[in-house]
Amino acid sequence: MGAGGPGTNQDMAAVLVPVVLLLVAIVLVGLAIKRFSRAQVEHSDRLQYADRPTLRYQVPPGQDPAVVLSGLRSAGYDASADSEPGPSSPIVIIGSTHGDPDREEVRRTLAAIDGTNVVPAESGQVQRSRVRFVDE
C-alpha cells in the first residue's frame, strides 16, 4: 500500500480525534448536569432546615410549580420545590434572605402570579381561592 492509501495512520487519526472530542464533551456535560442537580437538592435541603423560618405552599391543580418558583424568585424570595416527596412535588418551600418571610406579602406575590395553567387548552382555569399555606 502507498503512503496515501486507505487505512493509513492519517485516516485513523482523522476519525479518532472527533470521536475522542465527542467523548470528552459527553463527560463534561454529564459532570455539569450532576453538579447542577446536586446544587438544586442542596438549595432545597437548605430551605428545609428546622431552624430556618419558611412557608410551605401547596400548588393548586392546574398551576405549574415552575411558574410559581420563578415568580417567587423574581420577587426576591428563596424558593424551592420540596425534595421529600420528589422533585416534581407540588409543595413549594418559601424562605426569605432577611428573616421570616412575611405571610401577607408572600400571599400577595402568589396571588399576582399569572400564566399558571400547565396546558391552558386542556386544564381550563385554575381554581384560585385565597392563598393558603400548608400550616393554615
Confidence check: pLDDT of 56 > 80:
yes
Does the pLDDT value for residue 122 go beyond 70? no
pLDDT band at 46 (very low <50, low <70, confident <90, very high): low
Res 54: pLDDT: 85
Q: What is the pTM of this model?
A: 0.55
- Which range of 54-63, 70-79, 84-93, 108-117 scores highest in mean pLDDT? It is 70-79
Report pLDDT for 132.
79
The yes-or-no verdict on residue 85 having pLDDT over 60 is no
- Residue 36 CA to residue 51 CA, distance in Å, equals 25
Instruction: Determine how many CB atoms are found less than 10 A away from the CB of residue 59.
Output: 20
44 has pLDDT over 90 = no
What pLDDT does 83 receive? Answer: 64
CB 7 within 8 A of CB 14: no
The number of beta carbons lying within 10 Å of the beta carbon of residue 133 is 17
Instruction: Please report where in the chains the cell 400548588 appears, as a residue.
Output: 59
89 Cβ contact list (under 8 Å, min separation 6): 65, 81, 82, 83
What is the full DSSP assignment across 41-95? HHHHHHHT-TTS-EEEEEPPTTB-HHHHHHHHHHTT-EEEE-TTT-TT-SEEEEE
